[in-house]
Amino acid sequence: MASRVGSRLAGTAIAVFLAFAVCAVLILLVGANPLEAYAAMLEGSVGGIAALTTTGVRMTPLLLAGLGVAISFRAGVFNIGAEGQLYLGAIGATIVGLMPLGMPSWIHVPLALLGGIVGGAIWAAIPGYLLAYRGISEVVVTLMLNYVGIYLASYLVDTESGPLGERGASYSQSAQIQTVARLPALVAGTSLHLGLVIGLVLAVALWAMIRWTPFGFRLRMIGANPIAARYAGVRVGNQIVAVMALSGGLAGLAGAVEVIGLRYRLYENFSPGYGYDAIAVALLANSHPLGVVLAAGFFGALQAGANRMQQTVNIETSLVFIIQALTVIFVIAAPKVGRFTFPRRGAGTPIEEARGEAVHAG
Amino acid sequence: MEGITKRFPGVLANDQVSFDVRPGEIHALLGENGAGKSTLMKILYGLYRPDAGQIFVNGRAVDIDSPRAAVEHGIGMVHQHFMLVPNLTAVENAVLGLPSRRPPLLDLEAARARLTELSADYQLDVDPLAPVWQLPVGAQQRLEILKALFREARVLVLDEPTAVLAPAEVDQLFRIVRLLAGQGRGIVFISHKLEEVKAISDRITVLRAGRVVGTLPTAGASAGHLAQMMVGRPISLDRQSPPVAGGDTVLRLDQVNCLSDRGVPALRGVSLTVCRGEIVGVAGVDGNGQREMAECIAGLRRPTAGSVAISGTPVRGVVRDPALLGFIPEDRHRTGLILDFDVAENLVLKTVGDRPYSRHQILDWGRIFEHARGMIRRYDIRAAGPWVRVGTLSGGNQQRVVVARETGGDPALLVAAQATRGLDVGAVEGVHQLLREQRERGSAVLYIGTELSELLALCDRIVVLFQGEIMGEVPPDQRLIGRIGEMMMGRRADGEPTDERAA
């Protein structure tokens, strides 16, 4: 067990190294010094308190949404709709956060978070139901619901006609949420907020859930072999809907803390694709909740360091997204490439098996 | 084909198989499901590479590494499951994958003319402009044959071609096949139906467990002899003690009907009882409703009519009580085990949410592992420990894990489907032993199998299933092997042949 985790981490480290190496070539091609660029990135992400808090802020939504995506992957369900669920979560938290409830913060904040969880959970439960009971591809439905969610938020905060829109504002946004509905800062004077701690606690909680509860056991069962799970009496349909709701709830929470912890408003297009990056985070983490912490931290650091890199050596921040993408590709490809190079003896090659399957299925 | 050998993990699918077909000859390949017929033909058609052996075409050694190469060598195949694109027309399907005569455009008009010509020549009546999904099954099959002729096949392989046809269509197919052979083509006719093979072929090669049992001219081969060759001579019959006397009825199926996954009737009016202390065997060629029957009993499939009851309790929904039902499903890799899970986890797949394995929704891994260690000892599972991934165990030990899980709760009823498929001889004996122990303990056992010799050795009585109906019941007497074989082909116990229905 320990050695499996170890070799997995080593493999990921190699993938990260390869991604940086390939990008170093790109940096050379635009005539800059890659070492300087990477030094600037390091400085901007972990060099000092300010850099670290920036990393933490960028990491928080990636962590929460990444946990959501990872949990669906573990159940063999491909929820790629974290972006839409994140918007629904932000909408839910904004609605609750705007209400003048006259309650203390320790009630209003959890209620706002709950609003975010419910919003995301509903958004994910819809494709979950369609998959479990109607056999409709969750990939297509979650992907399409992203657009619905994003533009639903745009409509809601429209400055002229949106029910939540702030009239006369120069940008499409809601009014500011109640002061008591805001998440406290972790480090005074910075924008790092309690959302990061919530994410870290949930990562541990999810890890424990997968490992120590019957629900987690069944989740792994349907992920590893849904047919055997059905034969063992698991109500696979219910389990899928439950997992999707959980997955969407976590993504919704990511949107919620972004609103009540950082921006205090719902803005149009506020997410720079956190929900999509969350897919990469989950893939990089091999869908392990604790791995998600590392992966989200890594991506958060990359994104935090990107600005410094642009200022220092004048390299586009988009480079870090190339690094992100390459890292994931290398992580995913590495074991497969190995298998094609060294086919196991005795077994049919994957091509043979696929052909046999095709004949059978045809 | 000479000395063809093909291994899959844990299975020797073809073992030194030699097979030849002459021009103008109809050569039948006869064998039970899993005997290796399909594997052999997939090798011929370039879908699998053999581990050893050589293929010759017109006396020349050839290397067939893809279906394209097979086509180039004049080999055509009509698969059991048709390889047609439903949305395309007949003529479009015929030219699919072939180079056009005026690239980059299609030349469908010429193709249509050619197809019409071939249709007329061989009485293969197909509307060339009809989309395939509109064509009846028989016409789709004729189109598959036309496709092969379109590619100028000299050798035509027909894989279980009558399985999907109505009786009248079978006659028509036979006429076509004879016509094709009459023109000097070699025909390979794959089937497990004795009567058919006797009616159409010139020579018969019987395969069993991946080996050629023999090749003989059809003239003079008796059905009884062929059946024996197919199912194998029964191994030593160490009959067990008589059934525990006066057993109460444990399983009762009453006029059960149900549908298959594809929505066609899979069981028709099946009534059956199994009592305490007996092993009842269900014989039949694979795919005649056995899986659906087992799933109805386990509550995994809802009957459309009739009722199922275990120990007087009607089955509604999945039966999870380990004291009521143990269910060893066919295909342990797909349905019985989670290969990525370890032994301990696989042993509690059904009971993980119950005490003592979890309390207040928290798993007790100590108890789960303790349970696994006990089972490993009791069932002699050869694994280094409870934490070993089941996927790394041998087939026999994997099956022991399933048996341990399903019999560990001393179930009133044990249903075992193909419990020994793919296991080596020693492992088969081990599983038989475990099943007999259950019977002697007083459990009712329903054993679903395709190997007649195994059923004869294991069971107290045998019912035969054919196209979802019970053909009759026989005692496990090896002199009745021929009769059971006939019942498996659709002849009722009273001797009346049933009409063959389209599957």
pLDDT in tens, A109-161: 999 999 999 999 999 999 999 999 999 999 999 999 999 999 999 999 999 99
Mean pLDDT score, B487-493:
78
Considering only alpha carbons, which residue of chain A is nearest residue B51? Answer: A346
- Per the model's pLDDT, the better-predicted residue between B368 and B442 turns out to be B368
3-state secondary structure of B272: strand
Place of tokens 């959302």: A195
> Does A13 reside within a domain?
no
Tokens for B473, please give them.
Answer: 């019941």
Q: In percent, how much of chain B has pLDDT > 70? A: 91
CA angle A83, A84, A85 (to 5 degrees): 90
Tokens for A96, please give them.
Answer: 């609750």
Distance, in Å, from the CA atom of A173 to the CA atom of A156, rounded to the nearest integer, reads 9
Flag if A228 and B338 touch (Cβ within 8 Å).
Answer: yes
Q: Is A218 left (phi over 0), alpha (psi -120 to 50) or beta?
A: alpha
Nearest to B337 among A220, A228, A361 (CB): A228
B267 within 8 A of B258, measured Cβ to Cβ: yes
Total count of domains within chain A: 1
Mean pLDDT score, B436-456:
87
Provide the domain limits for residue A111. Answer: 64-286
B125 within 8 A of B116, measured Cβ to Cβ: no
A217 touching B, CB under 8 A? yes
Nearest to B338 among A224, A359, A361 (CB): A224
B42 touching A, CB under 8 A? yes
Distance, in Å, from the CA atom of A86 to the CA atom of A37, rounded to the nearest integer, reads 32
> Does A3 reside within a domain?
no
pLDDT of residue B8: 74
- The tens digit of pLDDT for each residue in B202-247 reads 999 998 888 888 898 988 887 778 877 876 654 333 445 555 556 7
Q: Which one of A213, A231, A349, A360 would you mutate to disrupt binding with B, by most B Cβ within 10 Å of its Cβ?
A: A231
Reply yes or no on whether the pLDDT at A86 is more than 90. yes
> Does A188 reside within a domain?
yes
Does residue B67 have a cis bond before it (omega within 30 degrees)? no
Flag if A359 and B79 touch (Cβ within 8 Å).
Answer: yes
A279 within 8 A of A68, measured Cβ to Cβ: no
> Does A9 reside within a domain?
no
Non-local (6+) Cβ contacts of A110 within 8 A are: none
pLDDT of residue A92: 97
A56-70, B44-58, B266-280, B415-429: range with lowest mean pLDDT: B415-429
pLDDT of residue B164: 67
Distance, in Å, from the CA atom of B15 to the CA atom of B1, rounded to the nearest integer, reads 12
Q: Which residues of A touch B352 (CB under 8 A)?
A: 214, 217-218
- The tens digit of pLDDT for each residue in A227-258 reads 999 999 899 999 999 999 999 999 999 999 99
pLDDT of residue A324: 86
Q: Which residues of B touch A218 (CB under 8 A)?
A: 352-353
**The residue type at A324:** Q
Phi, psi of B160 (to 5 degrees): 45, 55
Highest mean pLDDT among A28-32, A343-347, B106-110, B253-257: B253-257
What's the whole-number average pLDDT of chain A? Answer: 89
How far the first Cα of chain B sits from its last, in Å, is 32
Flag if B42 and A359 touch (Cβ within 8 Å).
Answer: yes
Non-local (6+) Cβ contacts of A99 within 8 A are: A178
pLDDT of residue B495: 56
What's the whole-number average pLDDT of chain B? Answer: 85
A208 touching B, CB under 8 A? no
pLDDT of residue B388: 92
Closest Cα in chain A, distance from residue B159 (Å): 12
B361 touching A, CB under 8 A? yes
Q: Where are the beta strands (DSSP E) in B79-235?
A: 155-159, 186-191, 203-208, 211-217
Q: Is A51 left (phi over 0), alpha (psi -120 to 50) or beta?
A: alpha
A213 touching B, CB under 8 A? yes
Tokens for A55, please give them.
Answer: 């990393």
Q: In percent, how much of chain B has pLDDT > 90? A: 30
Flag if A360 and B81 touch (Cβ within 8 Å).
Answer: yes
Considering only alpha carbons, which residue of chain A is nearest residue B65? Answer: A352
Tokens for A208, please give them.
Answer: 């424990």
Mean pLDDT score, B382-388:
89
B470 within 8 A of B272, measured Cβ to Cβ: yes
Residue-range domains of chain B with CATH: 2-231 (3.40.50.300), 249-340+389-488 (3.40.50.300)
Mean pLDDT score, B66-87:
87
Mean pLDDT score, A73-101:
96
3-state secondary structure of B53: strand
- Per the model's pLDDT, the better-predicted residue between A8 and B93 turns out to be B93
Q: Where are the beta strands (DSSP E) in B132-285?
A: 155-159, 186-191, 203-208, 211-217, 249-259, 265-275, 279-283
B263 touching A, CB under 8 A? no
Flag if A225 and B8 touch (Cβ within 8 Å).
Answer: no
Nearest to B318 among A213, A233, A347 (CB): A233
pTM for this entry: 0.74
Mean pLDDT score, B36-55:
87
Angle, helices A49-74/A105-134, rounded to nearest 10 degrees = 30
Flag if A232 and B349 touch (Cβ within 8 Å).
Answer: yes
Nearest to B83 among A217, A224, A362 (CB): A362
pLDDT of residue B457: 85
B318 touching A, CB under 8 A? yes
Closest CA to B267 of B287, B285, B250: B287
> Does A301 reside within a domain?
no
Q: Residue A341: pLDDT band by 50, 70, 90 thresholds?
A: very low
Q: Which residues of A touch B340 (CB under 8 A)?
A: 224-225
Non-local (6+) Cβ contacts of A101 within 8 A are: A107, A108, A111, A178
Surface-to-core class of residue B76, CB atoms within 10 Å of its CB (0-12 exposed, 13-18 middle, 19+ buried): buried
Highest mean pLDDT among A85-89, B88-92, B378-382: A85-89
Closest CA to A196 of A114, A48, A271, A296: A296
Reply yes or no on whether the pLDDT at B94 is more than 90. no
Flag if B341 and A224 touch (Cβ within 8 Å).
Answer: yes
A356 touching B, CB under 8 A? yes
Within a 10 A sphere around the Cβ of A326, how many other Cβ atoms? Answer: 19
Flag if A356 and B48 touch (Cβ within 8 Å).
Answer: yes
Flag if A362 and B339 touch (Cβ within 8 Å).
Answer: no
Cα-Cα-Cα-Cα dihedral of A234, A236, A242, A244, to 10°?
Answer: 140
Closest Cα in chain A, distance from residue B83 (Å): 6
A221 touching B, CB under 8 A? yes
Distance, in Å, from the CA atom of B307 to the CA atom of B270, rounded to the nearest integer, reads 10
3-state secondary structure of B376: helix
Flag if B81 and A362 touch (Cβ within 8 Å).
Answer: yes
Give ipTM to 2 decimals. 0.84
pLDDT of residue A327: 86
Nearest to B338 among A225, A352, A355 (CB): A225
- Per the model's pLDDT, the better-predicted residue between A63 and B480 turns out to be A63
Closest CA to B243 of B281, B275, B272: B275
Within a 10 A sphere around the Cβ of B472, how many other Cβ atoms? Answer: 17
Mean pLDDT score, B323-339:
90
- The tens digit of pLDDT for each residue in B99-156 reads 777 777 777 888 888 888 888 888 888 888 888 888 877 888 889 888 888 888 899 9
